[in-house]
Structure 1
Amino acid sequence: MKWFDYTALTIVIIGAVNWLLIGIFRFDLVALLFGNLSWLSRIVYTLVGLCGLYLISLYGRVRGMSES
């Protein structure tokens, strides 16, 4: 499952960079590449959100590793 952790982390980082671009420059890279709320951009946004929710479990796993 380590590959899934890295994949999810990469997707969340890409989403974070997109939010940085939106916040600073009002530039939505996902909307530019896939269309403004097209079905493809909605899939990208959904994947970023799901990966973010999955990575919440990382808190418990990191704490468990540091206690061992």
Structure 2
Amino acid sequence: MNKTLDILALTIGIVGALNWGLIGFFNFNLVQFIFGAGGLARIIYALVGICAVYLLTFYGKTGKVSYEQ
């Protein structure tokens, strides 16, 4: 796969996870704080969701480990 896309998806996924952590621990939504409660925040949430679906493909990559020496 494309390494740049992998890194971008992982970064967006981490940002989304950190945002959920902030919501859970402190009831603070960083995305809404930065982008407001409008359409731009919804786009960010959609990007996080798309990246999560893409990151599911990483499970397939972890199964392709070679033990040759």
TM-score (norm 1): 0.92
| Aligned length in residues | 66
TM-score (norm 2): 0.91
Q: Which runs of 4+ in 1 moved over 3 A?
A: none
Tell me the secondary structure at the aligned position of residue 49 of structure 1. Answer: helix
The amino acid that maps onto 1:11 is I
State the superposition RMSD in angstroms: 1.0
How far 1:28 moved relative to its partner? 0.1
Q: Which blocks of at least 5 consecutive residues in structure 2 are unaligned? A: none
Distance 1:67 1:59 in 2: 15
The amino acid that maps onto 1:12 is G
Deviations 1:31-55 (A, max 9, x none): 011112x110000000000000001
Higher helix share: 1
Distance 1:67 1:56 in 2: 21
> What is the percentage of aligned positions where both structures have the same residue?
48
